[in-house]
């Protein structure tokens, strides 16, 4: 197998493993905790879901040869997903600052 072939194979394996681990974490967290009732839980699940969705355009390109260069829809989906990273991270920052100011989180970040 050529180096390009190995690169594509490794990327496919990493994409599948990464998506499964991210989706699995969301499922596990949903089983173990009522994350939707917690501001931090909501930001964690939204961020993790966004990261998992960011894998989709590359997966579509590698497995189905559908890329952002072939489809306007695929291109805009990828732009939207990447564009959502900034507002989601700002939201997470706002939530953390608000909870720290309210004294609802330890200052050292420790969990106890």
Tally the domains of the chain. 1
Residue 9 lies in a domain: yes
Residue 24 lies in a domain: yes
pLDDT digits (tens, 9 = 90+) for 79-104: 999 999 999 999 999 999 999 999 88
State the pTM of this model: 0.83
Residue 107 lies in a domain: no
Residue 32 lies in a domain: yes
pLDDT digits (tens, 9 = 90+) for 36-70: 999 999 999 999 999 999 999 889 889 988 878 88
How far apart, in Å, are the Cα atoms of 80 and each of 37, 49, 56, 83? Answer: 27, 14, 12, 5
**Range of 91's domain?**
3-101
Residue 112 lies in a domain: no
Quote the CA–CA distance of 5 and 78 in Å, as a whole number. Answer: 25
Residue 40 lies in a domain: yes
Residue 28 lies in a domain: yes
Determine the pLDDT at residue 112: 37
Residue 109 lies in a domain: no
């Amino acid at each position: 197998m050529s180096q390009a072939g190995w690169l594509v194979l490794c990327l496919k394996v990493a994409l599948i493993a990464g998506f499964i681990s991210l989706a699995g974490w969301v499922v596990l967290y949903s089983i173990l905790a009522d994350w939707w009732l917690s501001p931090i839980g909501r930001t964690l699940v939204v961020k993790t879901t966004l990261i998992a969705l960011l894998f989709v355009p590359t997966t579509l390109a590698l497995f189905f040869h559908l890329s952002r260069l072939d489809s306007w829809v695929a291109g805009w989906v990828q732009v939207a997903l990447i564009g959502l990273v900034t507002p989601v991270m700002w939201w997470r920052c706002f939530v953390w600052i608000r909870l720290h100011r309210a004294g609802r989180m330890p200052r050292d970040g420790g969990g106890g």
